[in-house]
Structure 1
Amino acid sequence: MKYKPKKSLLQQFLSRIFAVLIIVSVITGLVQLHFIQQQITMETNNQALMIAQSINKGIEETLLATSAIEHQIDLKLRSYAERIADRLQNKSLPMITTEELIATRDQMGVAGITILARTEGDIVGVRSTEPQDIGFSLKKVGFLEAAENMLNGKIVSIPGATYFDNDIVVLPIAQSGTHVDKPIFYKYSYYHPPGKSYIINVFIEAGEVYQFMRDVGPDDWIARVRHEDSNVLEIGILTPKVFADPSLEQQIYPPVKKIVHGTFQYESKEDINLLTQLAAQPQLVTSIQEIANKKIYKMFLPIQDDKVVYIALDYDEIGSPLIRHSVILIVSGFVSLVALFALTASFFTEIYKNIQKIIAQMKQLETGDLTARSDVTDKGELRDLSQSVNKMARALHRLITDTHEKAIQAQRVAAVLEAEANHSVEKAFSLSMEKTATARDSIDEIFFYLDQMEELLKQQEHNPEAAEILGNIERIREWARERTNNTTEITITLADLLKSLHAQSSVLSKISNLLLKKMERFKL
């Protein structure tokens, strides 16, 4: 099994704190970036929506102003048409001449007059001040049914008409369908004089009105917004149904274009598909696309007349201040965490050094060095622990010192006691042998005299006093034997006691020597 070096407490603490620092930094950074991304999206949405609503409001205001102007023009065109009809009242269609129409045009100051009449399956221009309008077909522009209703005295309904009545229809400003070489904008009116079989088409040039609408209308708003906000890449008013059916752009009336106002340079396939869907289901749609190495935020906001306000914003530019702010916050937070890590590491390093001092002291005590002391200058619990260990070491030092002194004394006493006991045993043994021999000699001599006395007294067995003395002689023998035996036993017991004392003193001496030998490992 491969040995793995043990990490110190300081290494473990620093590695764990560093790991926590990295984890907290990463999580905090990711969370902050997530919220910043949401903030950027929300900020972009709000900015784009405000711009779109501003453009829409500008369009509404422009339409309100131009509709008032157009209404005045509509009334003026009705007046022109009625005056022309009065002049032509007594003339049939074949009697009306081009020269007469030109004179009337010049007198009234209109752009042109065209007389439209029925032909086979169509209604076309038969007399006109403009040569190119001769043969102009209402069938081709989709007005045949409306013209037939007008000639038949029915109510006329033409989508987008700015003014209409039972006998007149005025169309909005539109590009002339007969001037293909140069785009010219006119406002057309179609009037059916009562009882006549023809329609008087009076039109005036409306280029100035059209230019006014462009100058103060959406194009002006778009230019101002782009000038004031550098994040706006482009703005456009689009017609989704033309993107869905491009052929609609080719028809003269109603005039429709893909791009009504502004530009649509950052067009993509995704946008075309989206506009096709918006033609059927208008709704607010936003998207973020990568075009020409640029991240672009796009918004499509449906407005009136089946139009869409298109706004393209520089997503990176909008988000850059927030991203810079986020980076500053992340860096500041990381620096704060690093500072906290450094402070914590420094603090714990001091604690670790003090712990190492106490550990070193404990290891010295473990080896028997009772003079070891730890010097911890910290004012916290480690200082109390160091003082407690020092106090314990001093107490242990005193205990071992006292024990060592007592052991030396015990060794000396044991040695003296062992020597004295050994001498006493020998002396007691000699004395015991001597006393035992003396006692035996004495009792043998006493028994000899008693035997002689007993023989003498047996000769006087008739004498009562002699019999009594004989009885006492036997008791004397027993008493002498007991005394002798007691003396022997006492001597033996004393000898055994002295032997035991000698043995105990020998054991005590060995214990004292062993204790002193054990205590040699302590440094006092």
Structure 2
Amino acid sequence: MKRKTVMSQMILKIGIVLFLVGSVTISLIYYFVAIQINQVEKEEVSTVTKIVSNTMESTQTSTKIIENLITQKLLTASKGIAKELQGKSIEQITTEDLIKLKEHWNLYDITLFMKKGDDIVAVKSSQPKEIGLSTKGWGFWYQAFDQLLSGKKVTVSEGYSTDHFWAGPISLSEWEGKYILYGYFNDGTTPFLINPYILDQDIYNITYKSGPNQMIEKLKNEMNSVEEISVINVPAWLKGKENKVVYPEFDEPLLYGTHSFSLPMDNEILKKVMENKKELNVHFKSGSKQLTEYFIPFPQDRVLTIVLNSQFYENIQKKLLIFLIFDFLVLFLVIFTLIRIIAKRQLKPLQKIIAHLRQLSRGDMTEKLDIRENNEWGWLAIQINEMTDKVSMLISDLKKEVRSLNFLSYSLTERAQSSLETMSNSSTSLTVHARTVFAELGFQIETLMRDLDILVNTVSGLEVDSNLKTNLKDSILNIGLKLSQMDDLMKSDAHSVTELGMMFYDTLNEITEAINHLNNSTMDLQSKAEVFQIDEDEIN
């Protein structure tokens, strides 16, 4: 199996650490950027909301100012018309009179209303189509007319009122389909209600067709993520097809902008927003676009809707992620390459150490490890050189001891061989001589024993004192016993001498074998010691 190097292991570990650090860093950056983008999206919604709200307020303020100016013009015209018609009955007033007054006061038309029973009807007008128009079913309009004709102050909250005068909100003409601002005046000097009115299409266009709409279009053009903005009049919107636009301010379902991204749950969401007065949003897909629609509650039962292109932000996040990954890979390769170069440079002494240790493993201790580094490598080289010196001295001493041991072994071998031969000869000679002497002695003892037997028999046949005979026989028997003991002892000594010779022989053989084993061990140790090459001159 291929051996792994320290550099490859170190670079691999550093690479893994860099990869993990880079991955965590990219993940954190991506996460925080996603949070920031989400915050930017919310800030965009907030910005659009403020701009549209401020634009609507400023437009409505401007409209109110213009309407007030027009209302004042209508009031002035009404007073002038009343003065011109004062003292005339309704029958005395002709259409031509009203047309002249209209042109004089720069009005769109003039209509005169009178009370007939429980109704208030248009009886004269510069516009013939207005004549005969009933107002009984006009709600607060009829209430205002009745209060003016009765000489009372108008209490209707809609429109604008002052003494003897009331101007209704901009409304749609039933027979022309145009938006008109109507004024109504009666100061008691005439029996009829004077109704001058001005075409308010321009004000309507400023209020509902331009103004906020222009700002919405500008926002859509300048903000890439904004797909659509609209201001919805919720009560009118919820009526659907049954809704009828009479007063734009109250009846227009879509006040500003466009609402082309209609969702099945729009009405449900609009109801929730109006009930809870809280912002809601919904994610949906249109074609290949990922969109988010925000529903923001506005005053007067209106809701601002903003459709943002989530794909726009997702594309930014994807591009950022690709950019981060690309940068990380480039940075990773650069750092990895630099680390590899630096590691190779820093680990260069390690290669020298490995080569030196391989040389030492082969027994070559003649060279020094030359690493001139003022760091751990230099310290390690010094330690290895000191260890090598100590091992070299040890091996040198060992070689000397081996040579001495070899000489000693050789000397012992020669001496043991010589002693073995001498002892063998001496033992053999001693054993043969001892056997001869012991055999001769045994023969003599046997002869003496026979002579004693004869002597005993002779004594037994002597005719002497019985006590003396007994004493002689006892003495002879004692001598025979001693000779018998001497024969036994002699045979025992002869056997001991033989065993002693054999013991000497065996001992010498064992000594010889031990010396031979010592000699062989010495030769083996010498051959192993010769493997190591040391500088004898430097040691000496």
1:421 counterpart residue number: 419
The DSSP-based 3-state class of the residue aligned with 1:245 is helix
Distance 1:71 1:144, change over 3 A: closer
1:370 counterpart residue number: 363
Amino acid at match of 2:511: Q
Normalising by the residue count of structure 2, what TM-score does the alignment of the two structures yield?
0.71
Contact 1:156 1:164 in 2 (8 A): yes
1:504 counterpart residue number: 511
Pairing 1:250–2:244 present: yes
Normalising by the residue count of structure 1, what TM-score does the alignment of the two structures yield?
0.73
After TM superposition, the structure 1 = structure 2 runs for residues 238-387 of structure 1, keeping only pairs within 5 Å, are 238-247=232-241, 249-253=243-247, 255=249, 256-261=251-256, 263-264=257-258, 266-269=260-263, 272-273=266-267, 274-317=269-312, 324-325=319-320, 327-344=322-339, 351=347, 354=350, 358=354, 361=357, 365=361, 369-371=362-364, 380-381=376-377, 383=381, 387=385
Cα displacement (A) at 1:419? 0.4
Cα displacement (A) at 1:330? 3.7
**CA offset digits 1:202-240 (Å, max 9, x no partner):** 212234444555798323433444454455444433323
Amino acid at match of 2:413: A
Cα displacement (A) at 1:111? 1.5
In structure 2, how many angstroms separate the alpha carbons of the residues matched to 1:212 and 1:243?
Answer: 22
Distance 1:62 1:144, change over 3 A: closer
In structure 2, how many angstroms separate the alpha carbons of the residues matched to 1:346 and 1:276?
Answer: 68
Cα displacement (A) at 1:52? 2.6
The DSSP-based 3-state class of the residue aligned with 2:364 is coil
2:74 counterpart residue number: 77
Pairing 1:219–2:219 present: no
Cα displacement (A) at 1:201? 1.9
The DSSP-based 3-state class of the residue aligned with 2:188 is coil
> Please, which runs of 5 or more residues in structure 1 have no aligned partner?
448-481
Pairing 1:53–2:30 present: no
**CA offset digits 1:124-173 (Å, max 9, x no partner):** 32321112222334355544552465245555454541x11464321233
1:478 counterpart residue number: none
Cα displacement (A) at 1:430? 5.0
Distance 1:254 1:66, change over 3 A: closer
Contact 1:116 1:124 in 2 (8 A): yes
Amino acid at match of 1:260: L
The DSSP-based 3-state class of the residue aligned with 1:203 is strand
Distance 1:207 1:264, change over 3 A: closer
**CA offset digits 1:487-521 (Å, max 9, x no partner):** x9999979956863552242132233145347656
1:32 counterpart residue number: 29
Distance 1:90 1:220, change over 3 A: same
Distance 1:121 1:352, change over 3 A: farther
Cα displacement (A) at 1:179? 0.7
Amino acid at match of 2:100: A
In structure 1, how many angstroms separate the alpha carbons of the residues matched to 2:368 and 2:173?
Answer: 107
In structure 2, how many angstroms separate the alpha carbons of the residues matched to 1:221 and 1:491?
Answer: 140
Residue from 39, 52, 61 that aligns with 1:42: 39
Contact 2:122 2:131 in 1 (8 A): yes
| Greater CA drift, 35-44 or 51-60 | 51-60
In structure 1, how many angstroms separate the alpha carbons of the residues matched to 2:411 and 2:118?
Answer: 155
In structure 2, how many angstroms separate the alpha carbons of the residues matched to 1:159 and 1:247?
Answer: 28
1:146 counterpart residue number: 143
Pairing 1:110–2:107 present: yes
Distance 1:14 1:43, change over 3 A: same
Contact 2:182 2:196 in 1 (8 A): yes
Cα displacement (A) at 1:282? 3.5
* Count of aligned pairs between the two proteins: 504
Cα displacement (A) at 1:296? 3.9
In structure 1, how many angstroms separate the alpha carbons of the residues matched to 2:364 and 2:122?
Answer: 129
After TM superposition, the structure 1 = structure 2 runs for residues 176-255 of structure 1, keeping only pairs within 5 Å, are 176-180=173-177, 183=178, 185-194=179-188, 198-211=192-205, 213=207, 217-247=211-241, 249-253=243-247, 255=249
In structure 2, how many angstroms separate the alpha carbons of the residues matched to 1:158 and 1:315?
Answer: 47
1:171 counterpart residue number: 168
Between the two proteins, what is the percent identity of the paired residues? 19
Residue from 409, 412, 419 that aligns with 1:411: 409
Cα displacement (A) at 1:188? 0.9
In structure 1, how many angstroms separate the alpha carbons of the residues matched to 2:10 and 2:132?
Answer: 98
Cα displacement (A) at 1:82? 3.0
1:134 counterpart residue number: 131
**CA offset digits 1:165-193 (Å, max 9, x no partner):** 4643212334433213xx4x321112344
Aligned Cα root-mean-square deviation (Å): 5.2
| Greater CA drift, 409-418 or 371-380 | 371-380
Contact 2:352 2:369 in 1 (8 A): no
> Please, which runs of 5 or more residues in structure 2 have no aligned partner?
446-488, 533-540
Distance 1:249 1:385, change over 3 A: farther
Distance 1:260 1:420, change over 3 A: same
2:121 counterpart residue number: 124
In structure 1, how many angstroms separate the alpha carbons of the residues matched to 2:382 and 2:329?
Answer: 36
Amino acid at match of 2:424: E
Amino acid at match of 1:408: N
Contact 1:138 1:144 in 2 (8 A): yes
Amino acid at match of 1:244: L
